[in-house]
Chain A
C-alpha cells in the first residue's frame, strides 16, 4: 500500500489526468455538443506531438513555434477529416475516422528518416547529435520546481511542475468549453444532433456547424499532444495506438457526455487506473509482471466501458436522455 500514500504517485496521476482530460474535452465538444463520433482522435495528438519532436530536433525550431504549428496542423487534420468524411452518417464516420488515425500512425511508423520510425523520436537524425526536444520548456518547469523546493523539498518534481502547468490550462479549457456550450452556436448543434431537418429548415448550414465542432475538438486533441510530448519527452508510434482514443472515450462516458464539469473527476479516475496498474506494488498486483500489468490496465478500461454502457449509460453525472436519444 506504500505507493498509495506517496505524493509522487498522486502527482503523476494528476499530471496524466490533466493531459487526458484536455484530450477528452475535445471528444466532449465533438460528441456532447455536435453528436460526432470521432474514434480517430489519437491522430490529432500524434500529429502535434510529432510535429514538435521533428521540428525541434531535426530543424532546430524553437519549441514554442513548433508547438503552435503542431496544434495548427492538428486542427488542419481535423478539417481534412471533416471535409472528406463528415458528410457520412454516424457509424460510417466513426470507421473512417479510425482509418484516418491509423494512416497517420503507419506513416509515422514507416518514415524512419523523418520520425525515427519504430524506435521513436530518439532516432530522429539530427545535425548535432542531441535527441531531446524539451530543453526550452524544461527551463520553465525547472524554474517552478526550484521555487517549490524550499517549501516542499524532494516532492518538487518535474511531474509536479507539469501538474501546475497543465491543470490551469485544463480548468481554463473547461471554462471556455462550458461557456461555448451556452451559446446559440451550441444550441444549433444540439438541434442537429437530434434531427438535421429542423435546423436546416431554419437556414442553418448543418455541415459547416459540424465541421467547426470537429476542428475545435481537434485543437484540444492537438494541445493534449503538446502536453503529452512535454510530459514523456519521448514519442514512439506505439504511444498512439487506437486504444488511446478509447482512454478519452472512457473519461467522457464516465463523466457523462454532456457534463463538462464531471470531466476532471473522471480524468483523475482514469489517471489512477493508469498509474495504479503501473506503479502500485501491493498484493494482488505484486503477483503480476510488468507486461501483465499493462494487459490488466487494458482489461480494466474495457471492463469500465462495458459496465458503464450497460449499467449507467449516462455516466456518473450525466442525464439519461442524452445517451438514449442517439
Chain B
C-alpha cells in the first residue's frame, strides 16, 4: 500500500508537469496546426534562466521564475514576428511547419549550451527534506511542485474557459474561417497562444528541474516525446484533454514500475512506457480519450 501511495504521488507530480507542458503544445496545435518540436527546449531554457537568476545572481526564487516565464514569452513573441507569421502568410505546409519547429529546436539547444554551459545544475533549495505520509516518502520540493503546479493548472483551465482571449482561442481553433469573419483578431489570438505556451514552457521547466533535483541542458529534449504522448492521449488540440492526458500519463509511467505489474518496468525504461503509450494510443484510439472519430485516417 505504501508502495502504491509512493508511486501514485510521484505520478501526480510528474503528471502535473506533463499537463502544463502538454497544454501549451496542444493549444499551439489547435490554433496553428503546428506540432511544436521546440517545446522541450523551452523547458530547458526556463530552468536555466531561473537557475541563473536565483543561484548565480541570488535573486528571489519566485521573482526568478516570473522573469524566466517572461523570457519564454519574449522569445516566443520574437519567433512569431520573424518566423511563424511569415510562414503563415506563405501558406506553409505541414512538413514546412514541422521542419521549422525542429530547426528552431536545433538552434535553441546550442544557444543554451553556449550561454549557460553544459554542467549539471541544481536549484538552491533543500531537496533532502522529506515528509512521511502513510509509509511513503514525500520530498518537500515535490510537495511544493504539486501544490503550485495544481494551482497553475486550475488557472490555465479557468483562463481558457472564462477569459476573453481564451474564448477567442477556442473559437478560432474550432473554425478559423468563421472566427475571423466574426471579428476575432487572428494575429492577436495566435500571439496570445505563443505567449501562453512560452510562459508555460518555462514554468514546466522550473518544476521539472525541481523534481529532478539536478538537471542539464538535455532535460527538455528528453521529455519532448512524453509530452507528445500526453497531448495525443488527451486528444490533440484539446486543451482540457491535454491537462488530463498529462496527469494520466504521469500516473501510468510511475505506476508501471510497481512490482504487481509483471515485476514492474525497470526505471530506465520509463521513457519507453511513454513512447509505447503514444504508439498504442495512435494505433487503437488515434482520436484520443476525449475525441470523436471525425478525423480521416
Q: State the CA gap A301–B92 with chains docked (Å).
A: 20
Segment of A4-12, A85-93, A128-136, A139-147 engaged in the interface with chain B: A85-93
The interface centre, meaning the residue of B105, B229, B232, B275 with most chain A CB atoms within 10 A of its CB, is B275
Per-residue contact bits, chain A 95-112, to B (CB 8 Å; 1 contact, 0 not): 110111011001100100
CB of A243, distance to nearest CB on chain B (Å): 7
Closest-by-CB residue of A relative to B114 is A295
On chain B, the residues within 8 Å of A303 by CB distance are: 103, 107
Task: Tell me whether A91 and B98 are in contact in the complex, defined as CB-CB below 8 angstroms, given that A84-B279, A99-B279 are known contacts.
Answer: yes
Q: Which residues 265-297 of B have a CB within 8 angstroms of A?
A: 266, 268-269, 271-272, 275-276, 278-279, 282-283, 286, 295-297
A313 interfacial contact with B, CB 8 Å: yes
**Which residues of chain A come closer than 8 Å to B275, judged between CB atoms?**
99-100, 102-103, 106
**Is A313 a contact partner of B283 (Cβ separation < 8 A)?**
no
Interface segment among B50-58, B83-91, B255-263: the answer is B83-91
Q: Does A3 sit at the interface, judged by CB under 8 A?
A: no
Q: Residues 114-126 of chain B: 1 if any A CB is under 8 Å from the residue's CB, otherwise 0?
A: 1000100000000
Contact check: which of B33, B92, B228 meets A313 at CB < 8 Å? Answer: B92
- The reply to whether A37 and B98 contact each other, CB–CB distance below 8 Å, is yes
In the complex formed, the residue of A with least CB distance to B295 is A89
Shortest distance in angstroms between A69's beta carbon and chain B's nearest beta carbon? Answer: 25
Closest to B87 in A: A310
Q: Are A291 and B118 in contact (CB under 8 A)?
A: yes
Interface class of chain A by DSSP = helix
A96 closest partner in B (C-beta)? B282
A89, A102, A110: residue with the most chain B Cβ atoms closer than 10 Å:
A102
- Across the interface, A295 reaches (CB within 8 A) one of B99, B110, B232, B296, namely B110
**How long is the Cα–Cα vector from A195 to B132 in the complex, in angstroms?**
60
Q: How far is the CA of A310 from the CA of B106 in the complex (A)?
A: 16
Contact of A306 among B103, B225, B228, B276 (CB under 8 A): B103
A309 and B87 form a contact (CB under 8 A): yes
B236 CB to nearest A CB, Å: 8
> CA separation between A246 and B272, bound complex, in Å?
22
A249 at the interface (CB under 8 A from B): yes
Q: A94 with B98: in contact, given A295-B114, A299-B110, A323-B93 (CB under 8 Å)?
A: yes
Q: Which of A37, A102, A299, A309 has the most CB of B within 10 A?
A: A309
A326 an interface residue at 8 Å Cβ cutoff? yes
Chain A, Cβ-Cβ closest to B276: A103
State whether the Cβ of B102 lies closer than 8 Å to any Cβ in chain A.
Answer: yes
Closest residue of chain B to A89 (Cβ to Cβ) is B297
B96 within 8 A of A: yes
- A266 on the interface (CB 8 Å rule)? no
Contact A99 B225 (CB under 8 A): yes
Count CB-based A-B contacts (< 8 Å): 133
In the complex, chain B residues whose CB is within 8 Å of the CB of A310 = 83, 86-87, 90, 100
Is A199 an interface residue when CB atoms closer than 8 A count as contact?
Answer: no
Which residues of B are found within 8 Å of A125, using beta-carbon distances? Answer: none
Write out the residue numbers on chain A whose beta carbons fall within 8 Å of the beta carbon of B271. Answer: 102, 106
Nearest CB in chain B to that of A87: its residue: B297
B170 on the A face (CB < 8 A): no
Query: Which listed residue (B90, B110, B229, B283) contacts A298, Cβ 8 A?
Result: B110
Residues of the A chain whose Cβ atoms lie less than 8 Å from the Cβ of B35: 91, 94-95
Measured between alpha carbons, how far is A85 from B283 in the docked complex, in Å? 6
Instruction: Report how far A92 CA is from B114 CA in the complex, Å.
Output: 33
Bound Cα distance from A320 to B286, whole angstroms: 32
Q: Are B279 and A100 in contact (CB under 8 A)?
A: yes
B83 touches A306 (CB 8 A): yes
Instruction: Report chain B residues within 8 Å CB of A92.
Output: 232, 236, 282, 286
Task: Among B103, B105, B236, B272, point to the contact of A309 (Cβ < 8 A).
Answer: B103
Contact with B along A249-269 (1 / 0, CB 8 A): 100010000000000000000
Interface: A176 (CB within 8 A): no
Residue A220 interfacial (CB < 8 Å): no
Task: For B222, give the chain A residue with the smallest CB separation.
Answer: A102
B110: min CB distance to chain A, Å: 3
- List A residues 119-169 near B (Cβ within 8 Å): none
Q: Are A305 and B100 in contact (CB under 8 A)?
A: yes
CB pair A88 B83 closer than 8 Å = no
Query: Is A113 located at the chain interface by the 8 A CB criterion?
Result: no
Q: What is the minimal beta-carbon distance from A326 to any residue of chain B, in angstroms?
A: 3
Instruction: Please give, as numbers and ranges, the residues of chain B lying within 8 Å of A89 by CB-CB distance.
Output: 295-297
Closest 8 CB pairs of A and B: A326-B93, A302-B106, A295-B110, A305-B103, A302-B107, A306-B103, A299-B110, A99-B275
18 residue pairs from A and B, CB less than 8 Å apart:
A39-B98, A94-B35, A94-B98, A95-B228, A96-B278, A99-B278, A100-B279, A103-B276, A110-B269, A246-B99, A246-B106, A298-B106, A302-B110, A305-B99, A306-B83, A306-B103, A324-B93, A325-B93
Interface residues of chain B, those whose CB is within 8 Å of chain A, are: 33, 35, 83, 86-87, 90-96, 98-100, 102-111, 113-114, 118, 225, 228-229, 232, 236, 266, 268-269, 271-272, 275-276, 278-279, 282-283, 286, 295-297
Given contacts A85-B279, A110-B269, 9 further A-B contacts (CB under 8 A): A87-B297, A98-B228, A298-B107, A305-B106, A306-B107, A309-B92, A309-B99, A323-B93, A323-B96
